[in-house]
Amino acid sequence: METSIDRITLTGLTATGFHGVFPDERREGQRFVVDVVLELPVETGTDALSDTVDYSAVAEAVEEVITGEPRDLIETVAGEIAARCLEHGRVERVTVTVHKPHAPLTQTFTDVAVTISRSRHV
C-alpha cells in the first residue's frame, strides 16, 4: 500500500536575528523571513491533531532558531530549522527557505535567500 505525502506550508515567518559575518549584523540584528514546506502523510478522516503536525509548534521552533545563537551563514540557519522540523515525528521531508532581505550588499536587490531540502530518509 502506497503512503500519500501531503504538504503543510508556513510562509513568511518573520523574526529578528543576529546572523551574519559582519560585526554590524551581529550587533544590530536584522529581519529574517522563513518559508517552510513540511511533507508528511496527513490523515484527513479523523480531525485529530495527532494525525498531522502542530504547525504552531513548528513556527515556534523556527522563531527559536532565528532569534537564537548567531550564525555566520544563513545556510547554517536553514539547516538548523530543517533539523528542528524533522523532529516532529510525522514529517518525512522539509524544504526551508531563509530570506535575508537586508543582506549587506552594495547593489540594489530585493532579497537574498537560501533554500534547502532535507528528509528523514537520506
Residue 47 has, within 13 A of its CA and on its CB side, a CA count of 0
Give the three cell numbers for residue 86: 524533522
Of 120, 105, 118, nearest to 30 (Cα)?
105
Q: Which of these is catalytic: 88, 100, 111, 116?
A: 100
Give the three cell numbers for residue 82: 530543517
Give the three cell numbers for residue 68: 537564537
100 catalytic residue (yes or no): yes
- Residues labelled catalytic: 100
